[in-house]
Amino acid sequence: MPAPSAPIQEVKKTTCYMCACRCGIRVHLVDGQVRYIDGNPEHPLNQGVICAKGSSGIMKQYSPARLTKPLLRKPGSERGAGEFEPISWEQAFSILFERLAKIRATDPKKFAIFTGRDQMQALTGLFARQFGTPNYAAHGGFCSVNMAAGMIYTIGGSFWEFGGPDLDRAKLFVMIGTAEDHHSNPMKIALSKFKRNGGRFVSINPVRTGYSAIADEWVPIRPGSDGALLLAIIHEIIAQGLYDRDFLVRYTNAGQLVNLDEKSDEFGMFLRTEVPEEEGCFDPQNKLWWDRASNKPVITHTEGCDPFLLGEFRLADGTPVKPSFQLLQERVKDYTPEWAEGLTGIPAATIKRLAYEMGVTARDQKIELPIAWTDSWGKDHDTVTGNPVAFHAMRGLAAHSNGFHTIRALAILMSLLGTIDRPGGFRHKAPFPRPIPPCAKTPNTPLAVKPNSVLDGMALGWPAEPDDLFVDDSGNPVRIDKAFSWEYPLSVHGLMHNVITNAWRGDPYRIDTLLIFMANMAW
């Protein structure tokens, strides 16, 4: 390592690899050696800001604890004894080649490769697919997969790389279940600007550290109970009539009719008319509203029609139907603030006040930007409207067994407030939003795995129906982690937290080799 006094000879610009924010950094060199790292002021993401973790990235070069050579367990030593000896890379590759070639030629699924937050999943996923194994996934299964799955299955996008809060225009910002490692420096920059502009910042978090320390209001919550809070806020917004009716009608399925004939195979499904299906995996626009003026069912978005959001109706053949918003109202009827108080530890009065503040800010502080646009149904608009209530959430909501439904509740709350894809609310980043669910599917048969062959399909995907599950004829999982099976149907990032136990148990089958790649569990 160069001496502290040595003059810097060269500065290289790159991105930080110490967390997934990918801040721009400058690496200062002396004789080709790293002297120190600082933030790159010209980088649009962090604008020169660097955190302590980022600047300590120098230890990736100099830490005495880092591995510099492949290690092989000493002959005769016990597994777990920690006795290794260094070997050459040639020797390591030759061991791997011999072992993996044998597996690939016989049964490729007996090789499983699971990666950490390596940010190279395009490459590792391609390797697994070319190898022919279905047993591939990254760390998302024990991290924020519920955030991606819950929101993408509800609105087509999610926080972070898929989209985020528009703090340039928001008036109220609610952060829930977010630690400092997610979107760290960009979030800090945006928050300081937001607060200087007079925005109100509410942080809902079990502990008052990091972001919560600078919040205008910190709302402590019992860990794992965020779903109860969100359902109670939804209850209040509906009970107080503070939802954005126009947004719900035009941009959500709130007015669409659901079949409630318990004897029908279509019970619980949206009513649909016959229309030609579009290419791709887009949900066809063939659902029905119950029109207020004509008191009849009509195809959604029919010009001049306005649907009931509440009520119960009967089709000409006697089929009972209700708009999905009516079903939502019934679903959250018992999720009162008093009910949520017992689970979350947040006083009912605080939950009511928060719901009121969100609803009134979204309704009374609307933004109109003079930008003409055309919506998905071909209607022209002269302006873009924003309801300036923004949210940001992460693993505090996601990494619980109830995470998927908690995140779904958050996406529904954002929909009720009319804050999705609008200024001051949540803005998707291209190429999101995706169709709901996205098009990619895994194979749905074990025949996709063949010796010496590329896997016939993607190892990860977005099931839309039971036929999309990756199971054999008896319904048993094809993957070692049991992802996309009846047990874990929507495990869209795979289940890294299952793989070690399942491999050890030989459940659902024994494998030969588990390769864990770049998986620092702390990150």
Q: Rule CB under 6 A: which residues touch ligand SF4?
A: 16, 18-19, 21-23, 46, 50-51, 53-54, 184-185
SS3 annotation, 178-229: CCCCCCHHHHHHHHHHHHHCCCEEEEECCCCCHHHHHCCEEECCCCCCHHHH
Maximum pairwise Cα distance, the chain: 87
The residue (of 188 and 497) whose beta carbon lies closer to ligand SF4 is 188
Helix, strand counts (H, E) of the chain? 14, 23
CB of residue 39 to ligand SF4, shortest distance in Å: 7
Question: What spatial distance separates the first Cα and last Cα of the chain, rounded to whole Å?
Answer: 26
- C-beta of residue 204 within 8 angstroms of C-beta of residue 229: yes
> CA–CA distance from 371 to each of 41, 124, 367 (Å)?
31, 42, 12
Taking a C-beta distance cutoff of 8 angstroms, is the pair 133, 143 a contact? no
d(CA 82, CA 71) in angstroms, rounded, equals: 10
What residues have CB less than 8 Å from 145, skipping those under 6 apart?
Answer: 398, 491, 492, 493
Supply the minimum distance, in Å, between the C-beta of residue 48 and ligand SF4.
11
Residue 136: φ, ψ to 5°: -140, 135
Identity of residue 197 = N
Shortest distance in whole angstroms from residue 180 CB to ligand SF4: 8
Buried b (16+ CB within 10 A) or exposed e, 12-36: eeeebebbbbbbbbbbbbbeeebbe
How does DSSP classify residue 288? E
- Contact between 469 and 490 under an 8 Å Cβ cutoff? The reply is no
**Least distance between ligand SF4 and beta carbon 17 (Å):** 7
Minimum gap (Å) between residue 391 Cβ and ligand SF4 = 21
Please, what is the minimum distance in Å from the beta carbon of residue 60 to ligand SF4? 11
Q: State in angstroms the smallest separation of the CB of 46 from ligand SF4.
A: 6
Closer CB to ligand SF4, 179 or 514, in the complex: 179
The CA distance from 205 to 214, in Å, is: 13
In order, the DSSP letters of 307-354 are: B-SS--EE-TT--EEEEHHHHHHHHTTT--HHHHHHHH---HHHHHHH
Q: How far is the CB of 15 from ligand SF4 (least distance, A)?
A: 7
Nearer to ligand SF4, 138 or 254 (CB): 138
Report the residue number, 46 or 121, with the smaller CB distance to ligand SF4: 46
- DSSP H stretches of helix in 332-465: 337-344, 348-364, 395-398, 403-416
Q: State the residue number with the nearest CB to ligand SF4.
A: 54
The candidate with the shortest Cα–Cα distance to 258, out of 291, 289, 234, 294, is 289
- The CA distance from 258 to 290, in Å, is 11
At its nearest, how many Å lie between ligand SF4 and the CB of residue 371?
Answer: 32
Quick one: 37 or 113, whose CB is closer to ligand SF4?
Answer: 37
Residue 450 beta carbon to ligand SF4: minimum distance, rounded to whole angstroms? 41
The residue among 60 and 292 lying less far from ligand SF4, judged by its C-beta, is: 60
Residue closer to ligand SF4 (CB basis): 39 or 418: 39
**Least distance in Å: CB of 21 to ligand SF4?**
4
Q: Which is nearer to ligand SF4, 54 or 494 (CB)?
A: 54
Q: Residue 173 belongs to what H/E stretch?
A: strand 172-176
Which lies closer to ligand SF4 via its Cβ, residue 18 or residue 412?
Answer: 18
Which distant-in-sequence residues (6+ apart) come within 8 Å of 397 by Cβ?
146, 147, 176, 177, 226, 227, 403, 406, 407, 410
Q: Minimum distance from CB of 184 to ligand SF4 (Å)?
A: 4
- 218 pairs with which residues across the strands? 203
Q: Which residue has the tokens 């967390």?
A: 19
Q: Is there a contact between 374 and 381 (Cβ–Cβ < 8 Å)?
A: yes
- Smallest distance from the beta carbon of 23 to ligand SF4, in angstroms? 3
CA distance 228 to 231: 5
Residue closer to ligand SF4 by CB (options 212, 259) is 212
